[in-house]
Each structure stands twice: as structure tokens, then as C-alpha cells.
Chains A and B, each alone.
Chain A
């Protein structure tokens, strides 16, 4: 037991001390923050016009003149000058556009806008909206319908979905659930690969540097394998904890600065605040850990069977297939039907459960399915660890032998 602790310690410390690890801890939250900031800027920019613009309206129909309403940074002026002069003016001024409304405004292509640069979409939308309002009002008048009456019979309803639970009705936000569900799936998928591959690389390193023989003359191969798996797993947990803490801090700071200028990101943050992160975090950690234990044991066995990383491919394929398959389904179908038979089955089979169940968790799957999935995960990683250990103990001492599946089977059945 002492020796496993020693091995865990070494595996953990050598990785945590690496510059790349420390850099990653800060880079990832910084990237997320930067992305959020850029998104918020884009959001802001698309809602406001940044510099003052003037639109000169040449109204040949006379129904529109003076009916445009100025908004922030966008001014409408009715002009009676000749079109050619106005065009000349507009070609010299970037912030000047020319709106020409022909006599028969209802006909096709009868309203045109001229400007030196391509006009902003928001400007176009605004102008279009106002023209249509004015035109509809005019059309209603022509048909003797009072626009005020029409206004009063228009409705504006958005659907508010509420889930019935034991603790009381719960406001849910489907979009937020989908975001959480997909990001959990991606995160689990990536981290299983990243840390599993680290275990595999560690095993190959020990084999190619030939230190393996020295180590296993001191400890049992199983102890070495387990120590390595746990050590690397702790590195993963450390990384996640650091990210979560840094993200919370940065969201707090970002929330503060964005609170004064409400935008999309702040809205998203508010939505996120309605979600119960506690259980999600718990399930995430459980499925990360159990999935990691399950897969890293297999990765360790693969590492033990080869002499270099380039040889790993033939063994990697069947290991990565179920994960990749579930991941692809997760981001395309599963989150849309989290209670479908496919989703239920995938979330119960240990090899696919970490990704599939994380997709379902935000949608509150039945408790018995979670319990079944979790117990099968535990049985699953105990099983893969047992199989992997039997292959590993023989594999690490084999050199120059091209390992095949048949060979691995033989190793599995070797006596001590």
C-alpha cells in the first residue's frame, strides 16, 4: 500500500510540475472568458449603431415623409433636393444614406437605399421595420381599419415551460439544459481521451526507457499500473478543480462588469444561475472518475502491449469506437430525445454511459436508471482493470514481439 502511494505521488508530482500543466490551468479559463467577452461585444455591436448616421428620405409617394422616427445614432431627414445632388453628397459621406421611395411603394423594387458603404444589417432592419409599419398603417387606413384597434388585438405570447416535481413546480430553460448537456458530453469525452492517453504514454515511456524492470523488481506490476492510473486521475481532478474555481471567479468578475450593460452573456449567466450545478457536478465527477478508471486501464494494457506509440493504432480503434460513437450521437440526437430507448441503453452500458448519461442528467432521468448505470460503471471498471492488469503484467516485459489480439489473449491466460 505504501508503495502504491509512492507511485501515485511520483506520477502526480511529475505531471503537475510540468510547465504545460500550469499553463493549461490558466489558458483554458482565459480562453473561455475571452470567448465570452468577444460574444458579448458581437452581441452589443449587432444591437446598436456605433456612430451617428443620417438617412435622407426622398419620398415620391409623400406618404412617408416626416413619419420616420429617429432612434439612437440614426436620424431621418426628409429631403427635397434632386436625386443626383443627394447621390453626390452620399458618395462623399460614409455616414449618409439615401432612401428613395417611389410613387407606387407597394410595387416590387420600389424602395431603394443608396450609400457609399454597404449599410449595416441593423440599419436595414430598422428602416425596413419602420417603412412597413408606416405602409401597413397607410394600407389599413385605405381599407378603413383603425390601426389602434388592430394594435389592441395583436398578441405577444412566449411559452414558459414548467416541470412538475415533488418539491414544487420548477421553471426550466430547455436551451440551458441542452447547453449543459452537450458541454458535459464533450468535456467527458475529451477528458477520458486526454487522461487515458496520458496513462498509455506513461506506460510506453516506462517500457521503452526500460526502467520497468527495475520498478517491477520492487513492486508488483498491478501496483505500478494502479498507481499510475490513480496518479494521472488526480492530475485530471486537480485540473478540473482549478478550472471550476477560476471559472467561477471569472464569471463573477465578468458578471459584475456586464451587469451595468445588460447583454446576451449576462442573460446567459442569469439562465445558468437557475440550474442546479451541485448534482450535475457530482454526476460529472462520478462519470469522469469511473469512466476514466474503466478506459485508462484499457489504455494501460494497450501501452504495455506495444514498443512505441506508433504501434498503438490497431488496439486503440476498438477502445475509442464506443466513445466516439456515443459522442457523435450525443451532440446530434441524444440531447433531443434524452428519454428514448437508445439514450437509455447507451447510458446504462458502462462503455458508453459516461458520455450518454451526462447528456441525460440535466433532463432528470429516472433515479433507478441512474442507480443501475452507476453500479454497472463500478462493475465495469473493476472488470476492465482486472483484464488490463493480466495483459499488462506480461506485456511490459515483452520486447520486439509484434502483439496481436491472439497474443493478448494468450497473455491474459498466462499463469503468474
Chain B
């Protein structure tokens, strides 16, 4: 879908992107992560052809990015904004027409979207008459009205209350199911794990990590397990195949321990060791969350 090759972008005095390459496959939900100032917005602006890179290329479905592709991309910037004094209906139609949709088609689709999101009565309202959350909803509709193949969302959930955030999340998933590729930039890690198939992590103008979420988390496995058992508190003699990282008292006579396997040991050996001594409620591998990976990676570079 999108192939970003060796992008360099410099502004006077600082480098925003130094040789970033990414592959975003069609039909994916791709998360672009990174702390503030890592270069996410610069990269997104290049994909949107708002600015051009100093060197490097972007390919859209195999052809070099050009003006024609603008109509295939929908963009929701982090800093939201619409014409305050313009009626919503007219404004949505205007924005869709700028993306190449004709007026009749825009009206037709807008009616569908307004009905779906409960906005039918807003048509004649001016943006300044809406609440922040309502404005965000309107802007989301403006982003996807022309049914783009690639939807770029910069912090899509900021500014939404939990109910509306859920609605928007469902709409994003539905659009993805219909075939749209979604690139979203965020620092809310929960939504990354929940939504994204793949991610790339940018820090200090460089890509420091990318791949499928599952693979990345797997590669960060460190033989850590969570165990919950019931009965008497166990006292360990030192012959167990693991070391204890954390010990907690759970509720209703249960105890929780976090362990790290000794080299070469397996989860089965842990069970073999524990089963004669107590009744095990739970044994689960602890895979680091994206949040932990994110913080670890960013701190590593710093």
C-alpha cells in the first residue's frame, strides 16, 4: 500500500526525519508511535504531500506519490479545525469536493454518515455552535467521506469522551474491514494493542523499531510468568527452576508470584515443581505491553 523509503527531512537547525523507511501493507491498521517531537507529524505531512522530503521517496500502491493520490487519502490532523462560521453540511460537502467528490454524491454519503452517527439535526448548524466533541465527530466524517483507501489519523481519540471514542473506534474498525488501510499516530498504547496489526516506533527522527505487534511483543518475551496458587503460603527452598521477582497476597487465601525462568527451564518444569506443593489456579506468561516496550526503547536511546 505505502512504501516509505529512506526519507530525510531537515528544517532550519534541526532534523525531523533522518532516513526513515517503512512498509505499510494494504488492509492493515498501522500504528505510528513515538514521543513528542520524534518526527511523526513530519512523516504524516510528507505522506499527505503537505511538505516534500529533502530526499527519499514514498510509493503509493507501487507508483511514486503524486497529486492524483491526494483523493485516495483521508487525513485527520492532530490539531483539529474547521471553518467556524460555516454551516456543517456545506462545509463537509466543500471538503469532500476538494477531495474530488461531486456534490450530489457528497450529499448522499453525508446523509448516510449523519444518520449513522446521530448528527441529522446538525446540518444547518455552524461549527462554532457545536461542542468540542461534536466538532471532532464532524471532522472525522469529513476525513472519511470521500472513502479514501488510506486513512491517516493523528491522535484520533483525543478530545472524545469514552462513549464517542468507542463509536469512533468501531467506525475505524468497520472502515478497515471494508478494505481501508489505516495509519494512525498516537501515544495511547492501549489503543495500539487493541487496534494495530503493525507498528513503527520513531524516536529522535529515527525509526527504532517496527513490525507486527504480535511479533514485537513476542520478541520481548523474557521468560516471565505470573502464578496464582491457593492454600498455605509457600516457602521456597532454592531448588526451584525459577527466581522470584515479586510476591503478593491475592484475595481469598490465594497468593500471586511473578517469576523468571532459569536458563533452559520450561513452564512445564515449574508446574512439576509446584503441583505437589500446592494447588495452582493460574500460570500465565507475562508478555511486556507495548507501553513497556515503548518506554524501554525510548529510554535506551536517550
Interface residues of A (CB under 8 A from B): 3, 6-7, 10, 14, 205-206, 209-219, 397, 410, 415-416
**24 A-B contact pairs sorted by A residue (CB < 8 Å):** A6-B94, A6-B97, A7-B98, A209-B82, A209-B83, A209-B84, A210-B77, A210-B80, A210-B81, A211-B81, A212-B81, A213-B75, A213-B77, A214-B75, A214-B77, A214-B82, A214-B139, A214-B142, A215-B98, A217-B73, A218-B70, A218-B99, A397-B50, A410-B12
The answer for the CA separation of A215 and B12 in the assembled complex, in Å, is 25
B81 near A214 with CB under 8 A, answer yes
8 Å CB contact of B86 from A14, A210, A410: A14
Q: Is the interface of A mostly helix, strand, loop or mixed?
A: helix
- A-B pairs under 8 A by CB, number: 59
Known contacts being A210-B79, A214-B142, is A10 close to B94, with CB within 8 Å? yes
Chain B residues whose C-beta falls within 8 Å of the C-beta of A213 in the assembled complex: 50, 75, 77, 79, 81
The answer for the CA separation of A353 and B85 in the assembled complex, in Å, is 36
The answer for the CA separation of A205 and B86 in the assembled complex, in Å, is 12
> Considering only CB atoms, which chain A residue lies closest to B94 in the complex?
A10
Q: Which B61-88 residues have a C-beta within 8 angstroms of A?
A: 70, 73, 75, 77, 79-86
A416 near B51 with CB under 8 A, answer yes
B20 lies within 8 A of chain A by Cβ: no
A28 CB → nearest B CB, Å: 24
8 Å CB contact of A211 from B12, B49, B54, B83: B83
A231 CB → nearest B CB, Å: 13
A216 near B50 with CB under 8 A, answer yes
B176 lies within 8 A of chain A by Cβ: no
Chain B residues whose C-beta falls within 8 Å of the C-beta of A219 in the assembled complex: 98
The answer for the CA separation of A214 and B80 in the assembled complex, in Å, is 9
The answer for the CA separation of A251 and B79 in the assembled complex, in Å, is 53
B94 near A217 with CB under 8 A, answer no
B204 lies within 8 A of chain A by Cβ: no
B146 CB → nearest A CB, Å: 9
The answer for the CA separation of A79 and B83 in the assembled complex, in Å, is 82
The answer for the CA separation of A278 and B114 in the assembled complex, in Å, is 53
Chain B residues whose C-beta falls within 8 Å of the C-beta of A397 in the assembled complex: 45, 50-51
Chain B residues whose C-beta falls within 8 Å of the C-beta of A6 in the assembled complex: 94, 97-98
B15 CB → nearest A CB, Å: 15
The answer for the CA separation of A219 and B67 in the assembled complex, in Å, is 9
B49 near A415 with CB under 8 A, answer no
Instruction: Give the most central of A211, A216, A217: most B CB within 10 Å.
Output: A217
Chain A residues whose C-beta falls within 8 Å of the C-beta of B75 in the assembled complex: 213-214, 217
B153 CB → nearest A CB, Å: 13
B120 CB → nearest A CB, Å: 23
B137 CB → nearest A CB, Å: 15
A176 CB → nearest B CB, Å: 44
Known contacts being A210-B79, A397-B50, is A14 close to B97, with CB within 8 Å? no
B98 near A211 with CB under 8 A, answer no
B48 lies within 8 A of chain A by Cβ: yes
B257 lies within 8 A of chain A by Cβ: no
Chain A residues whose C-beta falls within 8 Å of the C-beta of B134 in the assembled complex: none
B95 lies within 8 A of chain A by Cβ: yes
> Considering only CB atoms, which chain A residue lies closest to B143 in the complex?
A214
Chain A residues whose C-beta falls within 8 Å of the C-beta of B12 in the assembled complex: 410
A218 near B81 with CB under 8 A, answer no
Chain B residues whose C-beta falls within 8 Å of the C-beta of A14 in the assembled complex: 83, 85-86
8 Å CB contact of B52 from A209, A217, A416: A416
> Considering only CB atoms, which chain B residue lies closest to A219 in the complex?
B98
A217 near B85 with CB under 8 A, answer no
Known contacts being A6-B97, A209-B84, A214-B95, is A415 close to B54, with CB within 8 Å? yes
Closest CB pairs A-B (n = 9)? A210-B81, A416-B52, A218-B98, A217-B48, A211-B81, A213-B77, A210-B79, A209-B81, A217-B75
Chain A residues whose C-beta falls within 8 Å of the C-beta of B98 in the assembled complex: 3, 6-7, 215, 218-219
B77 CB → nearest A CB, Å: 4
A210 CB → nearest B CB, Å: 3
The answer for the CA separation of A397 and B16 in the assembled complex, in Å, is 15
The answer for the CA separation of A394 and B49 in the assembled complex, in Å, is 13
Q: Which B36-54 residues have a C-beta within 8 angstroms of A?
A: 45, 48-52, 54
Chain B residues whose C-beta falls within 8 Å of the C-beta of A7 in the assembled complex: 98
The answer for the CA separation of A86 and B172 in the assembled complex, in Å, is 102
> Could you give, for residues 120-155 of chain B, a 1 whenever the CB lies within 8 Å of some chain A CB and a 0 otherwise?
000000000000000000010010000000000000
Chain A residues whose C-beta falls within 8 Å of the C-beta of B77 in the assembled complex: 210, 213-214, 217
The answer for the CA separation of A6 and B106 in the assembled complex, in Å, is 14
> Considering only CB atoms, which chain A residue lies closest to B11 in the complex?
A414
B50 near A217 with CB under 8 A, answer yes
> Considering only CB atoms, which chain B residue lies closest to A223 in the complex?
B98
B295 CB → nearest A CB, Å: 27
> Considering only CB atoms, which chain A residue lies closest to B84 in the complex?
A209
Chain A residues whose C-beta falls within 8 Å of the C-beta of B86 in the assembled complex: 14
Chain B residues whose C-beta falls within 8 Å of the C-beta of A218 in the assembled complex: 70, 95, 98-99
Q: Which B83-111 residues have a C-beta within 8 angstroms of A?
A: 83-86, 94-95, 97-99
Q: Which B12-29 residues have a C-beta within 8 angstroms of A?
A: 12
> Considering only CB atoms, which chain B residue lies closest to A215 in the complex?
B98
The answer for the CA separation of A216 and B139 in the assembled complex, in Å, is 15
Chain B residues whose C-beta falls within 8 Å of the C-beta of A10 in the assembled complex: 94
> Considering only CB atoms, which chain B residue lies closest to A216 in the complex?
B50
The answer for the CA separation of A212 and B50 in the assembled complex, in Å, is 10
7 additional A-B residue pairs with CB within 8 Å, beyond A7-B98, A210-B77: A14-B85, A211-B81, A213-B50, A214-B95, A214-B139, A218-B95, A416-B52
